Amino acid sequence: MSDTPQLYAIVPLPEPGPAHDALLQEAIAYGGGEECLRKFFACEAAERDLANQQAQTAAVAGRVADIGAHLMDMTEALAVRADKQRRLDAKRKADQERKAQEEAVRAEAASLRDWLDNNPEPKALPDDGELETKQPVDKERYDPEGTEADQGDLPKELEKGAPSPLGSYAPESKDPHQIAQPIAIEEHA
């Protein structure tokens, strides 16, 4: 054999006869175009490899789907734990604030007790031994004229230029052009 590589050609078979028979004897593969190509290029092995690869890909996709589902479950569990922890932290903080307020109230009460212990109420005067009693309010002190009827009226010096009061009566006017106020009449049934 020579060092030149062997070359192959795919050619159509001639009509039946000696050339046809000679080519078939030397042929590696023969048959229809698709069948010949499949045998020549080992398509059957390639199909088996492709089927194996597809099965492996499906198995890997199944594992990836399982891992994704597990990851989602773990994420949900983590979110639930984080929510529970937030609630616990909020409760703990509220408890601490409540305890701090109670402690402040206790401290203030203790401070008041200490102050009261150190500053007792004044004792009775030593001369008569009794405390002073309060008397009723002296009304004349606050109403020196004793005239409660004038309460709310203007002083006489301010009444001279004031308009007539409103109401159901009209005071006597010295002005002839002033119209008298109407008087309200109530009907009782």
pLDDT digits (tens, 9 = 90+) for 161-170: 666 666 555 5
Which tokens go with 140? 């004349």
Domain boundaries, the chain: 42-118
Buried b (16+ CB within 10 A) or exposed e, 120-130: eeeeeeeeeee
**Which whole number is the average pLDDT over 115-143?**
66
Between CA 26 and CA 23 the distance in angstroms is 5
Q: Tell me, what DSSP letter sits at residue 159?
A: H
The token pair that represents 180 in the structure block: 């008298």
pLDDT value for 104:
95
Tell me the average pLDDT across 49-72.
Answer: 94
Residue-wise DSSP of 75-134: HHHHHHHHHHHHHHHHHHHHHHHHHHHHHHHHHHHHHHHHHHHHSPPPPPPTTT--PPPP
Cβ-contact 43, 26 below 8 angstroms: no
pTM, 2 dp: 0.32
